Structure 1
Amino acid sequence: MTARFPRHVRVRARAEYDRAFQQGRRTASPLFSLHFVAGPPPARLGLAVSRKVDPHAVGRNRIKRVLRDAFRQLRPQLRAGDYVVVARRAAADTENRLLREGFIGLLQQAGALPPPGAGGTIPPAATAAPPSHPASDDPADGSSLPA
């Protein structure tokens, strides 16, 4: 996968943001608010990080950079549509790892990503070990060990 974040996977126009805010399903956490509107592929990301979140551009850009990177890596697993993330004040004081974990948790809460460990407790048949066969007592098959 490339490290780029091309224009076609970004929510860019004001009308697209308005549609997400008005028609989208909202999910919230202490760090972010997520508005999701199902749509045609690919999954697209829009970010809103205001000066109220962090008055310094460096801090706002850090939050956006972390979210873009996480989205870029998760995009193949996400449902098609527009994801608009609005950062909250607590995000400014949160370290990058926790921002990423908070974003992933919000996507799982919204149903866009499967929860961790959703595979179940029974291993798939392809990975199960074949049944072991005890050694036969019949010397004709050649599988018995000498005594």
Structure 2
Amino acid sequence: MNTIPPAPPKTFPPSARLRVSAEFQAVFKGGRRLSSPQLRLHAHVRADASVPRLGVAVSKKVDKRAVGRNRIKRLARELFRGGRDQLPPGDYVLIAQPGASQLSSDDLRAQFQQLLERARSLKPTPPPGTMPATPGASERPASDS
């Protein structure tokens, strides 16, 4: 009798969310930026991270109505929840650009899916302080100035 292994859970627990401003700032400072016309994804892939985590930012410049901003955030969380087991561990921040609220749900999904596909191929950034010494640094003669 063949048994199919259980699929990984498609949940979005608190451990998979960015919540604090400092976490968002760390992604902006150390991550890579991937862009589409109405969405921007900052990805900070780290080898020391345990799971992929998502933060979503949608300002009032994107849509003055909370219902429009929440629709974008809901779609982003839904797609991330479904595909996070295929992403490298690290932190991701999605920022909606003006004009995103005018897109249909299918167009928003397509743009975010494209950004997630590009993020899957990112390599982890080395932790700070692990940069190898520049070759030949000790071979340079000291200047007598």
TM-score under structure 2 length normalisation = 0.73
Q: Secondary structure at the match of 1:83?
A: strand
* Aligned counterpart in structure 2 of residue 65 of structure 1, from 60, 74, 77: 74
Q: Residue 12 of structure 2 aligns with which residue?
A: 5
The verdict on how the C-alpha distance between 1:107 and 1:113 changes in structure 2, with shifts beyond 3 A counting, is: farther
The percent of aligned pairs where both chains have the same amino acid is 44
- How is 1:44-55 mapped onto 2 (pairs within 5 angstroms)? 44-55=53-64
For structure 1, the residue ranges without an aligned partner over 5 or more in a row are: 115-147
Q: Secondary structure at the match of 1:89?
A: coil
Rg larger in structure:
1
More helix as a share of residues: 1
Give the number of the structure with larger relative contact order, counting CA–CA contacts within 8 Å between residues 6 or more apart. 2
For structure 2, the residue ranges without an aligned partner over 5 or more in a row are: 1-7, 123-145
Aligned residues: 113
- How is 1:19-98 mapped onto 2 (pairs within 5 angstroms)? 19-39=26-46, 40-98=49-107
Amino acid paired to 1:41: S
Provide the rounded CA distance (Å) in 1 between the counterparts of 2:11 and 2:63.
26
Provide the rounded CA distance (Å) in 2 between the counterparts of 1:101 and 1:79.
20
TM-score under structure 1 length normalisation = 0.72
Give RMSD over aligned pairs.
1.6
Contact 1:32–1:103 (8 Å) recurs in 2: yes
User: Which stretch of structure 1 is more off in the superposition, 37-46 or 67-76?
Assistant: 37-46
Structure 1 stretches of at least 4 aligned residues deviating more than 2 Å after TM superposition: 1-4
Provide the rounded CA distance (Å) in 1 between the counterparts of 2:100 and 2:43.
20
Deviation (angstroms), 1:36: 0.7
Amino acid paired to 1:34: L
